[in-house]
A and B are shown apart, each in its own frame.
Chain A
């Protein structure tokens, strides 16, 4: 180990490649992991005072949307029984419904959050929200306005002006309400956007949009929590069943939870402690999921790039130190000792780099929190917390990845003969070893197999499989690159073979094939990954573009405008019937199937797949459970392409349902929360939205890999050229001017970049072909392969520029001042 330390100290330059690679890799992994681990599901702040939450049973269809509801009656009965338990101070059902504030004729706030913004007044107790003025709602059309804004920022224009205006001398009647009484000043940050602080108009009314349409509610009071609170009866009428029941308790919540379990039995799931966090709203879960995809991809690429760069720089530095290692062998180092020394050096470097890189990543992570929230990759209020596991994990990963990277070089170094100490120049007699052939071909075969298997893989795993295949192919290309370097150099150098530069470049590269391979490897990775990522997105974008437009005829559609869906009024204003989509659970015998159905006509129609699943045919009777928890027996009228249930039943059992969009047959009538757009534009907007997210992903991933590997390009070339200083000195002694030496190294560097770019491009195109095959299989139609020439050219030029700078620098540094 002392020898390893001395080596590292003395030749830090030749370890700089490894250091930089591990530093960056660990920083990326630590930062991404910290972001990822900080993004945990969390029960809404609305339930902060309810340590025990109960949800209806899970039908076990594996789909979250099939989580059942209790009917209002079931929920009431259950809460009565639970309220009698010892230690339970209140058992409160929490029905919710869609309410969105309208300001100046336009809906405001986040549409997804608005889906759960309407509450029963009694549920305010679950978050310990208190009336800050006025009285509780009691009659239909009365509302208590939430005044809390999200992320803990104090509401700017709250009750002060507005409230006073509508409660002149109004007695707060808190005694009548189930409103909470306990104080809870410290409130956790809430996820999700709020419509903004409640602001009553001077007349004491507020304009809102619900599933029925625009409404004007009378404000009777304000509360220090977010949302809209209506009377319990109103809430029950508007909500599609009850999906959560909360208990406020005194004493040990765990004991209460156990007692509740006995009472609830199979009628629900009792959640306490961390299990409560499963109640995170779906909208938030989805946002976090998207963010997680990006972070996982970042970690994967970061780890891969580290292995890749470390292995090529280690191979390079081992080759450069051939004489030194030979000397060690001659002096009495066994092959094992040489190998262990290489491992020791790398471990040392990786540890130092990791211990510096991990804090760098951890420091950078919180800076990314805001941009991620803004771009919809993390929910509002997302903050990065200190994650020791991310720190330690990244350092350990960096260590292992670096050791994995040095394995091949260490093995090769241990076979160096003591007599190598006597050989002046480390000419590579054998650029391809059997092991290199075997591993290279195996990687290539595995990558090709993975690509070929892509169409048969499940959709979710395809993108990872594509990336994995590309990584295997890139490794294979890097390993087999010496095979290509020799003929390529011969061909390229041919026209100049009679000039001194031509001869020097040719011989310099042909005797240093391994060196060229090592320096070309980062270029290969940079170009390969960039082209693959950009090409995949471009190909898919083109494919989906065709796909989505193909589905719609010409004309206009009415689409939600700042809302999660179209209200009933918006649809009826057009003279159409709402096309409500609802989630139902249909069972026949012991088979159950959850499905999304549209309310249409007045008979139950099943689609073929569901019918087959249930084993149902026309005339059979099935049990259908609606969104509000009510079960009904219906006769299957027929089996067709699409499922539908009677429209009246959907309206009745899913009062909170919204219409997705409406194809217009005539000029649209203007309504709040909806706008009419040409179908084509609508589709493009959808694609655009998706495209923006994908572009963001792309930018992050390409930025990471290209930036990372580009640093490695510069680094390895700097290393390689610096080690050849004596060679250049000899060239100068032989009469070459600095200009000539520069020309030789520049041409060599460009040749190296050329080799890397060609191989990288090749790998990317092969992988792209695989991706295209998978997409074609998915949409059942031929699509064109898009090669992103712009990105390819840009990244190649970037690499070339870096390479020239990195090679010229050491040459100029050793140049005598007078030449």
Chain B
């Protein structure tokens, strides 16, 4: 995909350090990255390389120590907690690896939650349609405890997509799922990009999953060290990862 003007999300020299002094950890080290509208990006890297941190900062869930994050043209650095929450609510969707749903609410209520929090009434049928789109028609009134892990994950994706966000972030969305459920979730994400021009940034450890993306970013030690097109295939991606792990061990 090519440049379309305003990127959905842009990171400029994004730095995030945890702790101070001796115990300071630089989880993100001056990362520059652009995620263009309608693209599907996979982020890969060894454990502890800063993938989750990158996602949290890009999604406005966490704050940077230095640099800048611009979501849909809005720099988030100076936003108040409230303004940031509102921006997140309307422009950003997020899917965690697990524990995505409010246990007290039904599937339909969980999907409608961002809209309700924004004080909007979901259009009639919108929630049902969204659930049908993720293959959960008829499960509206089920509570999370009555759904399988893969189903819960799909409800979470439905919720992330219901407000038609500028960008959807997913942190190892298939990590806790079996191969079949994982594949279903990936198909869902791919379909959102292809049919709705949804922008997606996904962290994954699975080269097969990464291969469904348009682009793969490789992270090591808090830095982007390489990038491949998704079409490069799972094997090349796996090789590149092994290489990255090697570099980390060598250091």
B51 to chain A, nearest CB (A): 13
- The answer to whether A421 touches B117 (Cβ under 8 A) is no
Enumerate A298-345 residues with CB–CB distance to B below 8 Å: 323-324, 327-337
- The answer to whether A6 touches B105 (Cβ under 8 A) is yes
Enumerate B107-154 residues with CB–CB distance to A below 8 Å: 109, 113-114, 116-118, 143
- The answer to whether B85 touches A333 (Cβ under 8 A) is yes
A3 within 8 A of B: yes
- The answer to whether A323 touches B56 (Cβ under 8 A) is no
- The answer to whether A323 touches B99 (Cβ under 8 A) is yes
B65 within 8 A of A: no
- The answer to whether A330 touches B105 (Cβ under 8 A) is no
Q: Identify the closest chain A residue to B94 (Cβ).
A: A330
Known: A331-B117, A334-B85, A421-B96. A324 touches B102 (CB 8 A): yes
- The answer to whether B56 touches A6 (Cβ under 8 A) is no
Q: Identify the closest chain B residue to A6 (Cβ).
A: B104
Distance in angstroms between the alpha carbons of A216 and B143 in the assembled complex: 88
Distance in angstroms between the alpha carbons of A333 and B114 in the assembled complex: 8
- The answer to whether B102 touches A335 (Cβ under 8 A) is no
A484 within 8 A of B: no
A327 to chain B, nearest CB (A): 6
Distance in angstroms between the alpha carbons of A738 and B175 in the assembled complex: 33
- The answer to whether B117 touches A10 (Cβ under 8 A) is no
- The answer to whether B61 touches A6 (Cβ under 8 A) is no
- Cβ contacts under 8 Å, A6 to chain B: 104-105, 109
- The answer to whether A328 touches B81 (Cβ under 8 A) is no
- The answer to whether A418 touches B61 (Cβ under 8 A) is yes
B223 within 8 A of A: no
- The answer to whether B99 touches A334 (Cβ under 8 A) is no
Distance in angstroms between the alpha carbons of A421 and B104 in the assembled complex: 15
Q: Identify the closest chain A residue to B89 (Cβ).
A: A332
- The answer to whether A330 touches B86 (Cβ under 8 A) is no
- The answer to whether A332 touches B118 (Cβ under 8 A) is yes
Query: A411-426, CB under 8 A of B: which get 1 and which 0?
Result: 0000001110110000
- Cβ contacts under 8 Å, A329 to chain B: 85
B159 within 8 A of A: yes
- The answer to whether B88 touches A327 (Cβ under 8 A) is no
Residue from A7, A331, A417 in contact with B114 in the complex, judged by beta carbons closer than 8 Å: A331
B155 to chain A, nearest CB (A): 12
Distance in angstroms between the alpha carbons of A794 and B88 in the assembled complex: 56
Q: Identify the closest chain A residue to B115 (Cβ).
A: A332
A332 to chain B, nearest CB (A): 3
Enumerate A1-50 residues with CB–CB distance to B below 8 Å: 2-3, 6-7, 9-11
Residue from A10, A331, A421 in contact with B103 in the complex, judged by beta carbons closer than 8 Å: A10
B194 to chain A, nearest CB (A): 26
- The answer to whether A331 touches B113 (Cβ under 8 A) is yes
Give the number of residues in B that approach A within 8 Å (Cβ atoms).
Answer: 26
B235 within 8 A of A: no
- The answer to whether B99 touches A421 (Cβ under 8 A) is yes
Distance in angstroms between the alpha carbons of A334 and B62 in the assembled complex: 14
Q: Identify the closest chain A residue to B81 (Cβ).
A: A335
Query: B50-84, CB under 8 A of A: which get 1 and which 0?
Result: 00000010000110000000000000000001100
Distance in angstroms between the alpha carbons of A419 and B61 in the assembled complex: 7
- The answer to whether B96 touches A422 (Cβ under 8 A) is yes
- Cβ contacts under 8 Å, A327 to chain B: 99-102
B222 to chain A, nearest CB (A): 18
Known: A419-B56, A422-B96. A334 touches B82 (CB 8 A): yes
- Cβ contacts under 8 Å, A330 to chain B: 61, 88, 94, 96
- The answer to whether A335 touches B104 (Cβ under 8 A) is no
Q: Identify the closest chain B residue to A324 (Cβ).
A: B102
- Cβ contacts under 8 Å, A2 to chain B: 116
Q: Which of B62, B85, B89, B114 has most A Cβ within 10 Å?
A: B85
Chain A interface category by residue count: 20 to 34
- The answer to whether B105 touches A335 (Cβ under 8 A) is no
- Cβ contacts under 8 Å, B101 to chain A: 327
Q: Identify the closest chain A residue to B85 (Cβ).
A: A334
A748 to chain B, nearest CB (A): 26
Q: Identify the closest chain A residue to B98 (Cβ).
A: A422
Known: A327-B99, A336-B82. A9 touches B159 (CB 8 A): no
- Cβ contacts under 8 Å, A422 to chain B: 96, 99
B173 to chain A, nearest CB (A): 14
Distance in angstroms between the alpha carbons of A332 and B84 in the assembled complex: 9
Residue from A328, A334, A417 in contact with B102 in the complex, judged by beta carbons closer than 8 Å: A328
Residue from B81, B96, B100, B143 in contact with A334 in the complex, judged by beta carbons closer than 8 Å: B81
Residue from B82, B86, B159 in contact with A331 in the complex, judged by beta carbons closer than 8 Å: B159
Q: Identify the closest chain B residue to A422 (Cβ).
A: B96
A413 to chain B, nearest CB (A): 14
B176 to chain A, nearest CB (A): 13
- Cβ contacts under 8 Å, B82 to chain A: 334-336
Q: Identify the closest chain A residue to B110 (Cβ).
A: A331
Q: Identify the closest chain B residue to A337 (Cβ).
A: B117
Distance in angstroms between the alpha carbons of A421 and B52 in the assembled complex: 14
A117 to chain B, nearest CB (A): 68
- Cβ contacts under 8 Å, A335 to chain B: 81-82, 85
Distance in angstroms between the alpha carbons of A332 and B88 in the assembled complex: 6
- Cβ contacts under 8 Å, B85 to chain A: 329, 332-335
Distance in angstroms between the alpha carbons of A327 and B118 in the assembled complex: 15
Q: Which of B56, B89, B99 has most A Cβ within 10 Å?
A: B99
B225 to chain A, nearest CB (A): 25
- Cβ contacts under 8 Å, A333 to chain B: 85, 117
Distance in angstroms between the alpha carbons of A421 and B62 in the assembled complex: 12
Q: Identify the closest chain A residue to B119 (Cβ).
A: A337
- The answer to whether A10 touches B96 (Cβ under 8 A) is no
Query: B29-63, CB under 8 A of A: which get 1 and which 0?
Result: 00000000000000000000000000010000110
- Cβ contacts under 8 Å, A418 to chain B: 61
Distance in angstroms between the alpha carbons of A334 and B79 in the assembled complex: 13
B60 to chain A, nearest CB (A): 9
Distance in angstroms between the alpha carbons of A327 and B102 in the assembled complex: 7
- The answer to whether A334 touches B86 (Cβ under 8 A) is yes
Enumerate B154-201 residues with CB–CB distance to A below 8 Å: 159
A8 to chain B, nearest CB (A): 9
Distance in angstroms between the alpha carbons of A434 and B39 in the assembled complex: 46
Q: Which of A9, A324, A331, A336 has most B Cβ within 10 Å?
A: A331
- Cβ contacts under 8 Å, B113 to chain A: 3, 328, 331-332
- Cβ contacts under 8 Å, B88 to chain A: 330, 332
Distance in angstroms between the alpha carbons of A418 and B92 in the assembled complex: 13
Q: Identify the closest chain A residue to B84 (Cβ).
A: A334
B27 to chain A, nearest CB (A): 13
Distance in angstroms between the alpha carbons of A333 and B143 in the assembled complex: 20
B89 to chain A, nearest CB (A): 3
Distance in angstroms between the alpha carbons of A337 and B102 in the assembled complex: 15
Distance in angstroms between the alpha carbons of A330 and B59 in the assembled complex: 10
B238 to chain A, nearest CB (A): 27
- Cβ contacts under 8 Å, A10 to chain B: 103-105, 143
Distance in angstroms between the alpha carbons of A327 and B144 in the assembled complex: 14
Residue from B62, B100, B102, B143 in contact with A419 in the complex, judged by beta carbons closer than 8 Å: B62
Distance in angstroms between the alpha carbons of A323 and B159 in the assembled complex: 18
Distance in angstroms between the alpha carbons of A422 and B169 in the assembled complex: 15
Q: Identify the closest chain A residue to B56 (Cβ).
A: A419
Distance in angstroms between the alpha carbons of A479 and B101 in the assembled complex: 33
A317 to chain B, nearest CB (A): 13
- Cβ contacts under 8 Å, A337 to chain B: 117
- Cβ contacts under 8 Å, A323 to chain B: 99
Question: Please, could you name 10 A-B residue pairs with CB atoms under 8 Å apart, sorted by A?
Answer: A6-B105, A10-B143, A324-B104, A327-B102, A328-B102, A328-B113, A330-B96, A331-B94, A417-B62, A421-B96
Which 10 A-B pairs have CB atoms at the shortest separation, nearest pair first? A332-B89, A10-B104, A334-B85, A332-B114, A418-B61, A332-B117, A334-B82, A6-B104, A7-B104, A333-B117
Residues of A at under 8 Å CB distance from B? 2-3, 6-7, 9-11, 323-324, 327-337, 417-419, 421-422
Known A330-B61, A331-B113, A332-B117; 13 more pairs at CB < 8 Å: A3-B113, A10-B104, A10-B105, A324-B102, A329-B85, A330-B94, A331-B89, A331-B102, A334-B82, A334-B86, A419-B56, A419-B61, A422-B96
